[in-house]
Amino acid sequence: MTAVDAVIRTRLNSEVVLIRTIGDYIIGAGGKRMRPAILLMVAKALGYQGQRHHLLAAIVEFIHTATLLHDDVVDESDLRRGRSTANAVFGNAASVLVGDYLYSRAFEMMVDVDRMRIMQIMSSATTVIAEGEVLQLLNIHDPDVSEARYLQVVRFKTAKLFEAAAEAGAVISDATLEQIEAAAAFGRHIGTAFQLVDDVLDYSGEATALGKNVGDDLKEGKPTLPLIRVLEVGTPDQRALVRVAIEQGEADFEAVAQAIQANDALNYAMQTAQAEAELARQALNVFPESTCKDALLALCAFAVDRDR
């Protein structure tokens, strides 16, 4: 990860001062760096011996960071990872344009990797992520979103980059087709589990631990799985409360939280996340035994056991 950070800083060294400033601000915000870590661990678990996995991991982080910059503008967010968002500090225009720069730089770096299959994986991922963003936009303030529609957004918007990171790590290692498909499945399922837990934490965590404002999803009118579950099994009054909350983005947060608790909706969402994490674990069965495989297995537990 130290080597990846060095690549990130080198490739962010633009002659345009504002790009460097915002880039340094984003890097300083930290984050879990799960996607690049997954790529590195998959590559090493499958016997990769070169250095290009560092470049690939930086590419994945650039794509992820670009999506965050654009997300925060679209969602009008002012807090991420316990710090003010880039758009809150530098303005929407600068955030969008630097996000565009990161996308462009990522594709420039892909050319340096010189593997057409990697280009296909990453370009497809960015397309699917964009589709997920638009699908989520269409779902906002819509209380009739089904669990299937919600999970489609999760798989497109969040899980796809996890999948691409893991698959790229396998491809760069010249793994077998079975191992490449297994790596992609691992990333897809661990990414889905990761987002489901995020949605649970939006109603059960503390803002200081999460680094974001608890209840933000509700304020933005996002119908996440805990809310969808209440709409499916709640009492008429509870369903009416949640419908209005999603439609208006304004409601008694405590009353909504109580409705979620009364219907065990957080546990339902956690069980769904745990099922995804188990599928991720099973996908690793075709990997040879190694410390990196053990780390990937541990990541399955971390994805569902974390508090932030």
Q: What is the pLDDT of residues 152-165, one digit of tens each?
A: 999 999 999 999 99
pLDDT over 70 (residue 127): yes
Tell me the pLDDT tens digit for each residue of 61-92.
999 999 988 888 887 777 765 678 888 878 88
Q: Identify the CA nearest to 196 among candidates 184, 204, 208.
A: 204
Among 16-25, 181-190, 224-233, name the one with the lowest average pLDDT: 16-25
Span 26-41, mean pLDDT?
A: 84
The per-residue pLDDT for 211 is: 43
| pLDDT at residue 304 tops 60 | yes
pTM exceeds 0.85 for this model: yes
Q: What is the DSSP string of 44-73?
A: HHTT--SSHHHHHHHHHHHHHHHHHHHHHH
> For 92-111, what is each residue's pLDDT tens digit?
888 889 889 999 999 999 99
**193 and 259 in contact (C-beta within 8 Å)?**
no
Q: In the numeric block, which tokens belong to residue 107?
A: 């594709």
